[in-house]
Structure 1
Amino acid sequence: MAAYAGIDLGASYVRAVVGDETGDELGKYKRETPQGPTGIAVTDAVLETLKDACGDAGVEPSALEAVGMGTIGPLNLAEGEIENPANLPDTIDRIPLTGPISNLAETEDVHLHNDAIAGVIGERFHSERNPDDMVYLTISTGIGAGIACDGHILSGWDGNAGEVGHMTLDTEGTMDCGCGQDGHWEAYASGQNIPRYAREYYEAGDWETDMPIMDADFTAPDLFEYAGEDEFADTFIDRLARFNAMGVANIVQAYAPLIIYIGGGVAENNPELVVDKIRQQLPDMVFGNIPEIKITTLGDDVVLKGALASAMTEGTGDREKLRG
């Protein structure tokens, strides 16, 4: 029996799964992501998690045919590592991954992707149509996309293709993004920045609201809870929908996907207020064919299942490349 592994490295948790040649799960493991003191501690946690998943599956790491991995970024594919991860402490400047995983599994067949690219591989593999042209978009703490175009998974020379959250959607640059630039999609509509933008928009107008919008602990979920009950909340949610539809329209014009799967906490927890509103506004923004817009079919496991699918299909999600 052939065995494959997928790894999901996030800012909070490391998860690993081992599956057989059909993708059926044999074993898995999860642990917290170390917050330092250096990137080597994170590397060690990844290796230990993979070992523990193999132990749960009754498989030696050296018996793995291939390993796929979806991770936070930014990536340096040439070195097989993460460089200066945005969501981990500043003491972590680099996290070696491909080399150490290859040594543990005794295989050169290790596929490293950012998390959104792993997401599109997973959605492609598990889609009934196994489409060549599709997108996985995550609207969560940040915003990013994985893109399959003409059957190719787009990674870019450094592994960081699909950073669509850093598209400039506001030429006035009202809000600054966490990356340091102004006017980016993520600065307005990501889970991390929605409360900040809501306060900015509230203070710039003449609004009344029952929401505790100026409280330091006001969050994106708090905003959506007031939908249908608060005029400012409804107006602001519509404004977010405009930014989201603009961003999706740009993706459609650039890559012409047949289908876009949308995941991430902001979208998955508020499908009617996020995904449905994108569907409604998209026809007014797109010149050409409108893709099908759907909520992710894989939920919180989209990156992990995408990483496993990557290992099984040479980094593509194309079922015609299945091994075994």
Structure 2
Amino acid sequence: MEWYAAVDLGATNTRALVADTDGTAHGRARRPTPQADGQAITRAVVATLERARDAAGVAPDALAAIGVGSIGPLDTDAGAVVAPPNVPADRIELEAALSERTGAPVTLRNDAIAGVRGERRFTDAPENTVYLTLSTGVGAGVAVDGHVLHGHRGNAAEVGHLSLVPGGRPCGCGGTGHWEAYCSGAGIAAHARSLATDHPTRLDPDELDAAAVFAAADPDTVTASVAETDAVERLSTDLPEAPPDGEGDALATRVVADAVRVNARGVAALAHAYAPELISVGGTVALSNSDLLVDPLPDLLATAGLAVPAPDVRETPLDGDAVIRGALASVLPE
């Protein structure tokens, strides 16, 4: 039997699996991604893969190929991640390190590009599909007429850095008004922190993350505010009227409402750029808050004045495995 491995290198977690030729996983491993230099992250990737291989009972030299879905930006010519905005590393060597350790060939893909490969291989996703991830960062993988777009050095559809809010919030990459600055886990937390300096909030600035912001927001107020006909075009300029005690935090509610609106703008941009039949949404932020970030999208797109047919929008049926399954699909036999 031939064995294949896949790695999902995220800004928050690193995961690996080992599977047979049918794509059935026989061993898995997971660990937090070190918030350290590139060498430390490379070592963590290798160690995670070896743990998954050992869990599958596979010999060290028995892997036929390894697929990697990784945060970007990438240099696929060199097999490395270069200057990623969401981890403190200048460069993360992947292909050479994994190949040297295992003797197997390695294929490196952007994580969202891997995600759309997973959708196409393991679900009913049509030929024109976008996989959108809202996680520590924001990104997309695109299939047009059945062809997955890779782009120069593997960086097609880095949509998290589309400027959707003129003069808007700073992004971790150094730009402003980017999709990622409003809708990623890191961006949502940073947005809340910036408002907390001038506005009252029950949130603890020292414990702020996206999960805390969503937990503190009032979902009914968010839903009502984004249901207005111009909601996609307009961001909040004031905090919503503070709900009674126990029903939500006004600052958190504004941050979440802004995330919903900007996310709809971004999805509309994807529809115009690629004319997908389906946009499948994954990533930890989206999957943990799909009632606010995914479910409203069809209605919001209906009021966004699309010049192309509106795509179907769904939460990915691969749950948290879209990227790692897509990395596997990149190396499995057809």
> Structure 2, unaligned stretches of length 5 or more?
221-246
Contact conserved, 2:68 with 2:109, CA < 8 A, in 1?
Answer: yes
The alignment yields a C-alpha RMSD, in angstroms, of 2.5
In the alignment, structure 1 residue 169 sits paired with structure 2 residue 164:
yes
> In structure 1, the residue corresponding to 2:291 is in which secondary structure?
coil
Q: How far off is 1:247 after superposition?
A: 0.4
Counterpart AA for 1:88: V
With normalisation by structure 1, the TM-score equals: 0.84
* Counterparts of 1:34 and 1:214, CA distance in 2: 25
Which position in structure 2 is the counterpart of 1:7? Answer: 7
Equivalence for 1:188: 182
Match of 2:314 in 1: 294
**C-alpha distance 168-106 of structure 1, shift in aligned 2 (>3 A):** same
Give the residue type in structure 2 aligned to 1:86. Answer: P
- Match of residue 310 from structure 1: 330
8 A contact 1:199–1:213 mirrored in 2: no
Q: Distance in 2 between matches of 1:217 and 1:45?
A: 26
Task: Confirm whether residue 254 of structure 1 aligns to residue 249 of structure 2.
Answer: no
Deviation of 1:136 (Å): 1.1
Per-residue Cα deviation, 1:162-201 (whole angstroms, up to 9, x for no partner) = 2111111122x13111111111111222222224434666
What is the CA–CA distance in structure 2 between the aligned matches of 1:200 and 1:135, rounded to whole Å? 32
Q: Is the 8 A contact 1:70 1:118 kept in 2?
A: yes
Partner of 1:121: 117
**Secondary structure in 2 aligned to 1:62?**
coil
CA contact (8 A) 1:199 1:214 kept: no
Which of 90, 100, 106 is the matching residue for 2:103? 106
Counterpart position of 1:319? none
| 1:275 and 2:269 correspond | no
Q: Deviations over 1:87-130 (max 9, x none)?
A: 333xx43222112323344343x2101211111111221113x4
Alpha-carbon distance change, 106 to 290 in structure 1, aligned in 2, over 3 angstroms:
same
Secondary structure in structure 2 of the residue aligned to 1:192: helix
Report the alpha carbon displacement of residue 275 of structure 1 after superposing the two structures with TM: 1.0
Instruction: Give the 3 Å change call, closer, same or farther, for CA 65–289 of structure 1 in structure 2.
Output: same
Task: State the AA in 2 paired with 1:18.
Answer: V
Amino acid corresponding to residue 101 of structure 1 in structure 2:
L
3-state secondary structure, aligned to 1:158: helix
Aligned to 2:207: 217
Letter in 2 for 1:152: H
The TM-score normalised by the length of structure 2 is 0.82
Q: Quick check: 1:13–1:32 contact (8 Å CA) kept in 2? A: yes
CA contact (8 A) 2:11 2:136 kept: no
Cα drift, residue 259 of structure 1: 0.9
**Shift of residue 280, structure 1, vs aligned partner:** 1.2
Which residue of the partner structure matches residue 318 of structure 1?
Answer: none
User: Would you say the 8 A contact 1:62–1:104 is kept in 2?
Assistant: no
- Tell me if the contact between 2:168 and 2:178 (Cα under 8 Å) persists in the aligned partners: no
- Unmatched segments (≥5 aa) in structure 1: 314-321
Cα distance, 1:29 vs. partner? 2.4
Equivalent residues in 2 for 1:33-112, closer than 5 Å: 33-36=33-36, 38-89=37-88, 92-108=89-105, 110-112=106-108
Contact 1:137-1:145 at 8 Å conserved across structures: yes
Distance 2:41 2:168 in 1: 36
Q: Which residue identity does 2:298 align to in structure 1? A: R
Match of 2:236 in 1: none
